Amino acid sequence: MGTLIIVLTYIAYVFIVVVYTVKVLAWLRMPPHIRWDLYPVIHEEHYRYGGSYYEQQEWWKKPRPKNTWRSLLYSLKDNFTMGEYYERNRLYWLFLFPWHIGFIFIITFHILCFFAAVAMYGGLDIGAVSAHLAGRVFYYVLLCTGGIAFIAGTFGSLGMPIIRLADRGLRTYAMPMNFFNYLFFFTVYGSGLLSWLVLDPNLDEYRTYWLGLITLTAPALHTMTLIHIILFDIFLIYLPFTRSTHYITRILAYYFIRWDDEPNLPGSDLERQIAGLLGRKVSWEGNHIPTGKSWAEAATERGFPEGKKEKP
Amino acid sequence: MKKEMKIDEFCRPGEQLAEIDPAEIIPLPPPYDRIEKAPIRKLAEEQRKRMDASLDGVVAIGLTPPASPEEEKAFIEKFLAGLEKLFSADDNWTFLQPLTHTLEYCVKCQICSDACPTYLASGRQDIYRPTMRPEILRRIIHTYVKKDHLLLRKFQGSDIDLNWQTLARLAELAYRCTLCRRCAQVCLLGCDNALVSREIRKVFSQQMGIAPKELHEKGSVQQLRVGSSTGMTPAALKNIMEFVEEEIEEKTGRKIKIPVDKKGADMLLIHNAGEFMAWPENLEAFAILLDAAGVDWTLSTEIAGYDSVNYGVWYDDIQFARVAIRQSMAAKSLGVRKISLGECGHAHKAGIVVADRVLTGDLNIPRESILPLLEEIVLRGRIKLDPSRNNFPVTLHDPCNMVRLMGIVAPQRRILKQICPQFREMEPHGVENYCCGGGSGFAITQSTNFPDWRSAVSGRMKMKQILTAFEDVPGPEVKKYLCAPCSNCKGQFRDMFEYYGVWEKSGILYGGLVELIVNAMTNLKKPFIQWEWH
């Protein structure tokens, strides 16, 4: 069983990283689009009230300062706080927030476990009474992240189906997959919670498990912990089939769509890209469109506005 | 309490899905709180037979039902072929990325519903939720384009039965969203359900040739053919300019020659041609102000060069590109250094921002808003102004396209604070404003009972905001000014104010920004704003 756990875990991590990467690259490889920015644009100087560089005369002659760090912090902060939900639907936020915190913390917990195992392999003793400060810090940080993940995730997984059924709008758009996810995620977090509370209050077994992973040695684990780890591995494999990539793509959408205020200045790379896109053929069949011609031709050709049938 | 609507009902042939109930739409302050009539006229029996109104009893497009099953099948197949093009990098590079992102990552959390003024004002009708259109589209894609297995579709809730009426309702529903994009602004996932409305319109227009005639035949097509969506020819424009010059002389005693087709001028000013027909005082005010400030400017009489509208931005990429290019060509032929857009919100967004990735090479002429120049004229004292001439209550409407969609927020406020002692904001304002209700072409759409709908539903939240902004002076005895620096918004206010009897009940006049500036000019003998022309 220990060997199976190691193999399954590696497969799960490789799978999620590969599929997430493919999805993100596919997102990024879509062609540049027409500008569709929406204000406030957080990197703008006057972002507090939503102002843009268009508030200046002859804006193309003026500097356009961009505060990229501010916009990055803004988008990351929202991944954690979900402030818009807190403001607009607090009851929903009450369950959605722990549901997401559970997700973020359980991933963080496992990443930290990896580093803890590396440290243990290097000789560090990790525990509440470790001789090393780093060992004690690791111990408490792992205890906190794991504990928060299990408690928040279990609470969120229980609350989400309730709010989805109770709220009229959410209920209208509910689908069987939502409830499957809640149930499945509840078993993942719940098994971890149970294992922690009943068998492994110091979360020692996860460090043993990760040490086994990096040394390729089958770890000896309690059945309850094993069940949780198998469920967690399946959870990792399942995630790419859900909308969970939104943790990444939402930030891309902010940067490449909502906050994309890059002007097309003469002679720029952007202008060259657009010139290429205008050379692509259109196959739309409306009467006013010359099907089969390029965008540039369709946009400049005379006679078509009145329809193909009326064309001499 | 309204009946809860299930998504599947959208595809059920026959009955009307929703009815606007006067008891459920959001209440307005007195004296607008009395329900005296049905908010929306019922269609005649003959109209209902001729046009599909099974969405909400309102008609913007009014598709005619197919005569045979074969016709229905052909209609559906053509739509599905268009839908595939929506996800082609060749056919839809223009919006592929934002559209794909929204359809794949929206979690239907309904945060956007509470930001949508149409949904809220309607008394929370399920069909107007910003998520409804994308959900129907998503289901059609999974079932008929991607052809997912039935079990997967059931699991993901993406199964749908497609018939002609589903598409007729979807086409109408795409014209119940003003594209104000308040929904997108609150989305934590960066999704834009308003864009989906636009993309549905695009499939109907670019693939099937279906669009409201005010946008297409009488809109962009007419603009490209005769020069303006109003039907005004260059010859008619010259006549109107003569009339405007006479009006200016009559009002101010000044003889001003409006520069037309002035080669090598510094700036080509393009107005929404609706101003020429409906609000010539806006043109007069611009002419007076720019003359007084010594600005080197001109108008154009080239095709599309004297009409800044670009209705394509609301429904059709090809028509959009054609108009944008013709406008730029007009500027190029005059040899001006830059194009400046007058008081029109969508023309700002279309001409300055959206056209930015259509115009290349020598057509990529610098384009800007007129508002920063107005701000400079007022705040730097280039003309003498007396704010006491504007000593009446004034509030400001933020056109979505100019404010939320391109970030021009402060210049108009700085001007009003300088010249209007009784200026007050609406709440919310700036980038969080509510749409006038006439956005995305609604203000010009006059089909059957659609104008009732946009006054009673899509514009109702704005109506409430305006009345609340003037709640300290509610009666008609105190004359008040709603500053709306956008022709489209003014068109909506004209119709909506008439619908509610706003002048008689509240004494509110709507108008542009530049009229207020000219009204404050110290060297005009009499006030420029003529209240009697409400």
- What is the rounded average pLDDT for all residues in chain B? 95
Instruction: For chain A, say whether B111 makes contact (Cβ under 8 Å).
Output: yes
Inter-residue contact B302 to B333 (CB < 8 Å): yes
> Is a pLDDT exceeding 80 seen at residue B3?
no
Average pLDDT, stretch B88-109?
Answer: 97
| Residue type present at position B114 | D
Q: Is the ipTM of this complex over 0.90?
A: yes
Q: C-alpha angle with apex B452: B446 to B455, nearest 5 degrees? A: 105
Name the helix (H) or strand (E) containing B23: none
pLDDT score of B413: 98
3-state SS of chain A? CHHHHHHHHHHHHHHHHHHHHHHHHHHHCCCCCCCCCCCCCCCCCCCCCCCCHHHCCCHHHCCCCCCHHHHHHHHHHHHHHCHHHHHHCHHHHHHHHHHHHHHHHHHHHHHHHHHHHHHHHCCCCCCCCCCCHHHHHHHHHHHHHHHHHHHHHHHHHHHHHHHHHHCHHHHHCCCHHHHHHHHHHHHHHHHHHHHHHHHCCCCHHHHHHHHHHHHCCCCCCCHHHHHHHHHHHHHHHHHHHCHHHHHHHHHHHHHHHHCCCCCCCCCCHHHHHHHHHCCCECCCCCCCCCCCCEHHHHHHCCCHHHCHHHCC
pLDDT score of A190: 97
Alpha carbons A104 and A88: distance in angstroms, whole number: 22
- Give residue B14's region: left, alpha or beta (phi > 0; psi -120 to 50): left
Which of B172, B41, B25, B45 shows the shortest CA–CA distance to B449? Answer: B41
pLDDT score of A295: 95
Q: Which of A32, A35, A289 sits opposite B353 (nearest CB)?
A: A35
In a 10 Å sphere around its CB, with 0-12 CB exposed, 13-18 middle and 19+ buried, how is residue B248 labelled?
Answer: buried
Residues B36-60 have pLDDT tens digits of 678 899 999 999 999 999 999 999 9
> Is a pLDDT exceeding 50 seen at residue A51?
yes
Residues A201-260 have pLDDT tens digits of 999 999 999 999 999 998 888 999 999 999 999 999 999 999 999 999 999 999 999 999
Show residues of chain B in contact with A40, CB under 8 Å: 407, 431
Percentage of residues of chain A with pLDDT beyond 90 = 88
Residues B209-224 have pLDDT tens digits of 999 999 999 999 999 9
CATH code for the structural domain at A2-30+67-241: 1.20.950.20
Show residues of chain B in contact with A278, CB under 8 Å: 358, 360
> Choosing among B6, B8, B93, B319, which should be mutated to test the A contact, i.e. which has the most A CBs within 10 A?
B93
> Choosing among A288, A289, A297, A309, which should be mutated to test the B contact, i.e. which has the most B CBs within 10 A?
A288
Average pLDDT, stretch A65-85?
Answer: 90
Window 173-192 of B: residues touching A by CB (8 A cutoff) are 181, 184-192
Instruction: For chain A, say whether B303 makes contact (Cβ under 8 Å).
Output: no
CA-to-CA separations, B517 to B192, B241, B255, B414, B520, in angstroms, rounded: 37, 21, 19, 12, 5
| Cα torsion angle, B86, B89, B91, B92, sign | positive
Show residues of chain A in contact with B97, CB under 8 Å: 27, 30-31, 33, 256-257
pLDDT score of B525: 86
Alpha-carbon distance A214 to nearest alpha carbon in chain B (angstroms): 35
**Higher pLDDT among residues A60 and B252, named by residue:** A60
Among chain B residues, the shortest Cα distance to A285 is held by B207
Compute and round to an integer the Cα radius of gyration of chain B. 23
Task: Answer yes or no: do B101 and A249 touch at CB < 8 A.
Answer: yes
Q: Which of B4, B78, B155 sits opposite A168 (nearest CB)?
A: B4
> Is a pLDDT exceeding 90 seen at residue B133?
yes
> Is a pLDDT exceeding 70 seen at residue A157?
yes
pLDDT score of B532: 80
Average pLDDT, stretch B136-141?
Answer: 97
> Is a pLDDT exceeding 50 seen at residue A310?
no
Sorted by where each begins, the domain ranges of chain A are 2-30+67-241, 278-310
pLDDT score of A79: 80
Which of B426, B395, B482, B402 shows the shortest CA–CA distance to B181? Answer: B402
- pLDDT band of A302, cuts 50, 70, 90: low
Alpha-carbon distance B404 to nearest alpha carbon in chain A (angstroms): 5
Residues A252-295 have pLDDT tens digits of 999 999 999 999 998 899 999 999 999 999 999 999 999 999 99
Least confident of A49-58, B1-10, B417-426: B1-10
| Cα torsion angle, A232, A236, A241, A242, sign | positive
Task: Answer yes or no: do A282 and B156 touch at CB < 8 A.
Answer: no
Beta strand extents in B187-341 (DSSP E only):
267-270, 297-298, 338-341
- pLDDT band of A308, cuts 50, 70, 90: low
Inter-residue contact A53 to B79 (CB < 8 Å): no
pLDDT score of B1: 55
Least confident of A77-91, A147-161, B214-228, B271-285: A77-91
Whether the model pTM is above 0.90: yes
> Is a pLDDT exceeding 50 seen at residue B393?
yes
Window 143-162 of B: residues touching A by CB (8 A cutoff) are 154-158
